[in-house]
Every structure is written in C-alpha cells, then in structure tokens.
C-alpha cells in the first residue's frame, strides 16, 4: 500500500510541476491574456496573478486606502498566532479579540478619526475572506456543540429538532 501511495504522490507531484512551472504562462505582453486561454488548462496562468493581485488582495477598496485592509490582514494574522499559543489562553484573550475586531471594523469602515468612510460594497479580497472565516467559525462551533448536545437529549422535541437541523 505504501508503494501505491508513493507512486500516486510522485505522479501527482510531476503533474503539478508540469502544470505549475513547465507549461505555465508567467507573463503576457500588454496584458493580453489570450495566451492563457490558449492553454485550456494544460498550464497555470500566473500572468493573471501579476495583473490582478491588487483586486485579489483588496477587492474594489479605494486604491489610496489599501493600507487599511493590509493592516487588518496583519491584525488577523497576529490574532491567529497569539490564539494558537497556549501560554496566552487566558480570559483576557477574549478582550483582546473584541478590541482587535473593533479596531478592524473601524479601519475597514472608517468615518472616524479622520479616516474616510468606505461602504461594505467596496470591501473584498483577502480581508473579507478572513472576516467571514473568523465569524463563520466563531458562530458555527458553539452552534455545532449545542446541536450535538441536543441530539443526546432525553427530551424528544429537542432531540428531533437537533436531528432534523443536522441532517
């Protein structure tokens, strides 16, 4: 079994190198992406990344304000790193989360402290992905525990409700 798995890993690695490096398009003249379309999936189109990196990272957030979502990404990374270290697992960590999430909200929306207001429709990219992932996990985990406990309940109505919501 080990040899079979090793064979498929090596085969996958070779295919990935061919797709991602050997057959890839790294740049296109004058932002003409026809070369990428001509590949039809045979190789990666890294030229799109160089052309669209600002949109990928910041969405349609105003160009002169890109420092704000970039700072928010760094704040999120800092929160994740601190939360992953066991020595910081204290009740005060919840207050740090609340404070940093408030700061992220102020930075993203603006309208105070001399920051220009940016509506949510202009948000996008990496920062909105981190916001949605953070709140999605923070809300889904406790809900999942409640549903799991409800499924073990002796009360038929609660058990039926939890079984129906989890299926």
pLDDT digits (tens, 9 = 90+) for 123-145: 999 999 999 999 999 999 999 99
pTM of the model: 0.73
142: alpha, beta or left? (left if phi > 0; alpha if psi -120 to 50): alpha
How far apart are alpha carbons 112 and 129 in whole angstroms? 24
pLDDT above 70: residue 161: yes
Taking the CA atoms of residue 154, residue 156, residue 159 and residue 162 in that order, the dihedral angle to the nearest 10 degrees is -160
Distance between CA 42 and CA 22 in Å, rounded?
10
How far is residue 116's CA from residue 29's CA, in Å, rounded to a whole number? Answer: 37
């Amino acid at each position: 079994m080990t040899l079979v798995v090793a064979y498929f890993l090596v085969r996958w690695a070779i295919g990935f190198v061919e797709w991602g490096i050997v057959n890839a398009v790294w740049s296109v003249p004058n932002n003409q992406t026809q070369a990428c379309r001509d590949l039809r999936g045979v190789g990666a189109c890294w030229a799109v990344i160089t052309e669209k990196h600002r949109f990928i990272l910041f969405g349609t957030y105003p160009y002169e304000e890109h420092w704000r979502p970039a700072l928010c990404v760094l704040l999120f990374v800092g929160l994740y790193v601190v939360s992953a270290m066991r020595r910081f697992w204290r009740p005060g960590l919840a207050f740090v989360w609340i404070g940093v999430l408030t700061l992220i909200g102020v930075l993203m929306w603006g309208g105070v402290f001399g920051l220009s207001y940016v509506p949510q429709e202009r948000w996008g990219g990496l920062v909105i992905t981190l916001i949605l992932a953070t709140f999605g996990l923070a809300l889904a985990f406790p809900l999942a525990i409640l549903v799991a406990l409800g499924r073990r309940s002796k009360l038929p109505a609660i058990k039926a409700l939890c079984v129906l919501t989890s299926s």
